[in-house]
Amino acid sequence: MGFFNRRTAPADANTATATGTHERKPGIFSRRGEKTAHHHGHHGSNAWNSRPTFGQWIKATALDIVSMAILGAIGLGVYMADPAPSRSFPITFQDGEIVYPEFAYPLRNEIVPIWAAALIAFFVPFAVFLIVQIRARSFWDINNATIGLLYSLITAAVFQVFIKWLIGGLRPHFLAVCKPDLSRANVNTGGNVANGYRQIMFDRSVCTGDKSEINDALESMPSGHTTAAFAGFVFLYLYLNAKLKVFSNYHPAMWKLAALYAPLLGACLIAGALTIDEYHNWYDLAAGATIGSIMAFSSYRMVYASVWDFRFNHIPLLRTTPFVYGAGPSTLDGFHDALFTRKAGWGTHDGSAWGGAPGDASDGPRGTMAQAANAVTGAATHGAANGRGTHGGVVGVGGEHSVNRKPVGDHHVGHTHGHSHGHTHPDQMV
């Protein structure tokens, strides 16, 4: 057969409708009906993806709000404090040559002020979260995304200000703002001056510049701009990957790859600008990027079911209801369409593929919210109190009701030999 010959039965080119059916979703702030698995059959329940009352939301997030306020206050207090150590530094050799000219750059205005970097790191991702809600329309998605972003930004900020305060370092313009007067070393009664090899080491007691500028110039490492930029934009990168399914089970369009890495480009540009205006050394940027990225990954995993597993990484986690991982058809309990893309069946009840990756549980539907005694949403009973997913049935606490598990048909896994109580082989159940 020639390379350009037509297939006798061409595949549907519209991958948006390759599998499953779409359903019209209510607005993000509208209350979804309390529907049980019985009403949806094998498609699961929308109950967990319903908007809570304000009181329920406060109950679920009050501890987070208090924690963020406390951490923010601690971070601000440390940021405003004077540097803890008295760092020694060389100035000139005996012939007048500057020992470290890399610390003798002039003081310049910042290209991106720290307040602007912090605002950009929050509001750009937040704007993207809102845009995604055009299709996702999930209260819990935008709630978890926003709170997770704040987790990342606040913890990263507190982490870096403590390192700045206790360790710090010299900014490239340190000598310009220090304005050292070596004659002051002769009258200095304390401190660490004119010592070390050939007596070229001094401390800030020889500085004559503005105190606040000297304090700032002693706290170079890590970069606060870079920490904030990477904490916000790496979180956005992970969010876009999940909502666009860039690294998934189908071939996405190239614009999604460009959109995915645009936040990282923005973070790199903010960080790189600090080497142009001579506010930071390259290792300050590397430390800030590391701190921000680690906090972004950690925060994303706290509020979503996975970081990289494309089957679950768009599912927001609830406070009191555990998410049960498994293999089989997608249920996701109302969160199946909490994403932006609609290609290759994503966004439908029965979109994506059967089966699971190595190490996955395989005795329940793929992605199930197990029942909890005090669910935040007050939703109808769904899932299993024993931590295992169910499929179209309800399981009471303490085993009051039998588990109604549906065996997979022959065309998927193989024959099952289930009983009325669901006693089938674990590998043949969903």
CB 345, CB 352: distance < 8 Å: yes
Q: How far apart are CA 361 and CA 381, in angstroms?
A: 22
CB 158, CB 74: distance < 8 Å: yes
User: Nearest Cα to 228, choosing from 124, 145, 117?
Assistant: 117
CB 31, CB 378: distance < 8 Å: no
Q: How confident is the model at residue 94 (pLDDT cuts 50, 70, 90)?
A: confident
pLDDT for 422: 42
Q: How far apart are CA 261 and CA 237, in angstroms?
A: 7
Asked whether the whole model's pTM tops 0.85, one would answer no
Each domain of the chain, given as residue ranges in start order, spans 27-81+319-430, 86-303
pLDDT tens digit string along 113-170?
A: 989 999 999 999 999 999 999 988 889 999 999 999 999 999 999 999 999 999 989 9
DSSP three-state, residue 169: strand
pLDDT tens digit string along 63-83?
A: 999 999 999 999 999 988 888
